Amino acid sequence: MSRADRSRRGLVLLLLGALTCLLGLAAALAPVDADDPVVSWPRAGQEPSSTVLALSPYRPLELTTTIPCAPTADGDVLRTMPAAVDDPVTAPGLSATVTGGTLTIRSGTEVLHSGPAGGDCTYTVTADAGGTVLTRDGATLAEHPDLAPPQVAELSTTLTGPDTAGLGVQLHTDARYESSPTPLKVGLLVAHLLALAATLAVAVRRWTGTRPILAVRPRPGIGDAVVVVVTLAWAVLGPVNIDDSWYALMARQGADTGAIGNAIYQFNVTEAPFTTGQYLMQIWGSLAGWGLLPLRAVPVLLGLGTWVLLRLTMVVLADRVGARPAVVAALAVAHLAWFLPYGITLRPEPVGTVAAAGVLLLVAAALRTGAVGLLAPATAVAVLGVTAAPAALVAAVPLLLALPLVWWHLVYTGWVTRLATVAVAFAAASVAVPLGLADATLADVRESVAVHRWYYFQYPWWREIVHYANLLGPDDQGAWGRRLPVLLTVAVVVLGVVRLVTRRGAGGPLGRAFGFALAATALGLVAVGLSPTKWVNHFGAVAAPATLLLAIALVRGPLPRRAPGRLVAIGTAALGLVAAVIYAGPNLWRPFGDWGQPFGDHSVVDAPVHQDVLAPHLGPLYLRSPLLWLLVAVAALWWAHRRRRAGRPSGAGPDAAVLRTAATGGVVLMLLVFTVAPVQQAPGASVASMNLASLTGEPCGLADAVTVLVPDDGPPPPDGPAELTGAMVDGPPPDRPALPGPVWHAADAGTLRTGWFDVPRGATALLVPVTGELTAGASVTVESADGATAPVRPDLPGSSESGWHDLQVELSGDAAPVRLVVGNPPGTLIGVGAPVPARERPASEVVRGDPVFADQVSALLWPCEDQIVVRHGIAQAPQWRLRVGDGLEGATEDNAFFAPNGGVLTGIGRTATFDELPSRLDPPPGRAAFGWGHVERVVYDHPTDGYDLTVRSERRWGWERLPSLANKEYTGRDFLG
């Protein structure tokens, strides 16, 4: 080809690349049509009455309030925050109260006005990004330019009748991320995608290579069949990742609202540009349903896609050797070692993994053929992977291995081609625009990044040791199955560097492939370290290059076959120690996947203390014993000696034997424990049994497996007065809420004997409300008229409990009338309510049809329920809260309700209480485990629908940024990032 032809082709690519970049930039800055919801209170034609209004984010963008001067009686004219939580710093609301004839209007820490109540006038409070202004009949009384709009969880008043005349609120909620592209933006996005496709196609066609990509076409074999069968089975058996429900909630909410937000905290800000995985689930979940098994079709397809791409990559790297059955078998073991613990998750890492596998294939093909054009789609695929999660930066790492080829291309071409190369690279990277900014603005994404940094603790790259500390921890993150692929890969990287330094075993097809995979894996582990968080889940992003490296090491051994004996001894000992550390990890797979698991008592909460017995073992033989792995090495040496004496090749060395045993044994053991677990859990529910049930017409998970004890409306009346002695008196303790029916309490020594309560037919249990210090000296007994007695947990837990707790008493047969007998020791407080009859009902009957909040760990197992969302800047009010058990309550309960983290349901938590109903799995589990979870009725201070909502629309350009949520003034939270 002549220089003029090359220049013309370069000019075409330069123009195409530049056009693609310009269109991408224009699309990023193009406007969107954003929702502008407006709340009006009171409802049209009605007088003001208190209502819950849980804004999320907590502050409206604009607020206008009119407050009449007339009311003079003491009380609340208006509150946007319950009085019990209306702290000027942590929950800064707006309040107008009358006390002793004085009207005080306050917003946050500022008292806007304090003066005599009464008169024929109207105060108006206006608050927006420009500050807060108070006027009276148009005259300005106070002006605070730096005072933001107040937080809103409710609109409440104690006024009634004529006193409410003139009282009203109108506010614009903060729904900045609920937007859709304008026609202009849609046109630019379509034009950009067409230009991008043309750029990539021309680059691949014009910058070609001189060799075929594949030396041999790989054919399906036993290894492929094993991977497919195990992958499909694992969709049913595999463990639930603790974040699976979180990401499913993002996708499910996105299907309802059009915005992929955090769904749990950080004010539900957009996750853009890291939303590719959620969009995949949103598309599929909208079609197939939101249960665990249907959604697992996404990681199953991603896992099988990764396998196919790695199979092709191995052939590209190692020619015909890469298609040999032994190599395919090793690749299958390595792939499953990574896929089983990390690949079935609904987290975004599998998206990054399949992208990384695609980039590895394209880069390997480019290096083999010299086709620089293949690096253009490789760049686009790498950026696609990075849009899944920050840890998926691993997908871009293989591009670094192609830098010598790019350098050669730049050195031996003219300036037009050099500029075209840069333009094509940027154009390929611009694939991030349609993926990350299709329905959001660049300013929205900047704000999202700022919020994530402000409200979430992030680790710098130099604290990467935290990743490995978590991996070696005694909890679920340090489970032996999660340690297995990571630690084996790290060990092979270290020994592989020794191999390359000694220049032994670096030649031949597999040797060259080993060097490529080693470099990609080492750089991938470095890239994972750049992740701002340090959860063990992130290691799944490095699975693609690590699988290639581990597979080659399984075939050839991690050390050269002719290595000096001292090096073999050191390397084998190191691998043995690594294997021992792997299998010293506990067999913990919470949430839910721990049910029925072997090795120790999984109902013990204190995992660190019991880590020894939770590690894999067979009787007294523990796989963590270094002696066991020494025996594996000795057995390999003995076998090699026998083969040499027989005149045959010695086969695998001791290092390869230890590596193969650890990796293959780990894959087999993972499959074994997750097959045994549901069998041992039977007849109780398990992840596997619920997945199988979803295939046979029972797709509702825990709703089909949980029984709830539901109380009647109230206790029956007693047949006579109670007998009280000592300090026991009628009524609840002074600081406790009242209950339906009679209540008694004692602050000192005293006794109670109630009248008889009839038990209605059909009741299966009694719930006895109890509060107080609940020391072991207190006694609460239910006596039956037929002479039976039932102590109600004489060893009552807790100290200085402030709420009521329902203690359960089982009834058997035809229940006779019952009464309570209570004894309280000196110096303690106890309160007791009348017993309430209760009946067992399936959870599906109890919660079905009502809006529920199933938390970020358990939501996947409640797929049939009406999961609430944050829509129009308002958190939908749930009637039920469904929480995970498994000993994870402390780590999950407050996430959505914690204001300093921007919990999306903080307003709900401020205006409601949660009444837990006794519940259990039915039938009961076969093995002891943590409690399954919690069913809680949500009881609100006020009705939840006492306002009008109108949704308008406003047009915002890509650079327009609304008031930031990332500052200390918003919630009092200091900068964490």
Band (pLDDT 50/70/90 cuts) for residue 798 is very low
Which strand ranges, in their side-by-side order, compose the sheet holding 110-116?
75-79, 94-99, 102-107, 110-116
- Residue 847's closest CA among 834, 831, 859? 859
Residues 593 and 673 sit within 8 Å (Cβ to Cβ): no
**Helix, strand or coil, per DSSP, at residue 685:** coil
Give per-residue pLDDT as tens, 891-916.
Answer: 888 899 999 899 999 999 999 988 88
Q: What is the mean pLDDT of residues 123-151?
A: 93
CA 205 to chain centre: 42
pLDDT on residue 854: 96
Quick one: pLDDT at residue 498? 82
813 or 457, which is more confident? 457
State percent of the chain over pLDDT 90. Answer: 62
> Is residue 322 within 8 Å of residue 359, measured between CB atoms?
no
Q: Which residues fall within 8 angstroms of residue 412, CB to CB, at 6 or more apart?
A: none
- Tokens matching residue 151: 């937080």
390-423 residues labelled b (16+ CB within 10 A) or e (exposed): bbbbbbbbbbebbeebeeebeeebeebbebbbeb
- Tell me, letter by letter, the H, E, C secondary structure of 853-886: EECCCCHHHCCCCEECCEECCEECCCCEEEEECC
Q: Which residue has the tokens 């035809």?
A: 814
**What tens digit of pLDDT does each residue of 576-604 get?**
999 999 999 999 998 999 999 998 887 77
- The answer to whether the beta carbons of residues 867 and 875 sit under 8 Å apart is no
Poorest-pLDDT segment among 364-373, 423-432, 680-689, 734-743:
734-743
Q: What is the pLDDT of residues 396-418, one digit of tens each?
A: 999 999 999 989 888 888 888 88
pLDDT at 2 over 70: no
Query: Between 614 and 192, whose confidence is greater?
Result: 192
Band (pLDDT 50/70/90 cuts) for residue 634 is: confident
Question: Can you give the pLDDT at residue 299?
Answer: 97
How confident is residue 813, by pLDDT bands cut at 50, 70 and 90? low
Give the pLDDT of residue 468. 92
**What are the tens digits of pLDDT across the range 23-44?**
999 999 999 999 999 999 999 9
Higher-scoring residue by pLDDT: 71, 517: 517
Dist CA 950 CA 480 (whole Å): 54
Q: What is the pTM of this model?
A: 0.92
pLDDT in tens, 538-569: 999 999 999 999 999 999 888 877 777 888 88
pLDDT over threshold 90, residue 84: no
C-alpha to C-alpha distance for 855 and 881, rounded to whole angstroms: 8
pLDDT score for 809:
85
Q: What is the mean pLDDT of the chain?
A: 89
Q: Which two tokens stand for residue 844?
A: 């599906």
Mean pLDDT across the stretch 238-259?
A: 93
Give the mean pLDDT of 742-759: 92
My answer on whether omega of the bond before 717 falls inside 30° of 0, hence cis, is no
Helices (H) then strands (E): counts for the chain: 28, 36
User: Cα separation of 10 and 859, whole Å?
Assistant: 53
What local confidence, expressed as pLDDT, does residue 504 receive?
58
Query: Residue 552: CA atoms inside 13 Å, Cβ hemisphere, count?
Result: 34
Spatial contact of 174 and 57, defined as CB atoms under 8 Å apart: yes
- Tell me, what's the pLDDT at 518? 95
Is the pLDDT at 872 greater than 90? The verdict is yes
Largest CA distance in the chain: 112
Q: What is the mean pLDDT of residues 727-732?
A: 92
Q: With bands split at pLDDT 50, 70 and 90, how would you rate the model's confidence at 643?
A: low
- Give the three-class secondary structure for 199: helix
* DSSP E strand boundaries for 777-817: 779-784, 789-791, 801-810
Range with the largest mean pLDDT of 127-131, 497-501, 734-738: 127-131
pLDDT greater than 70 at residue 4: no
CB distance 703 to 860 below 8 Å: no
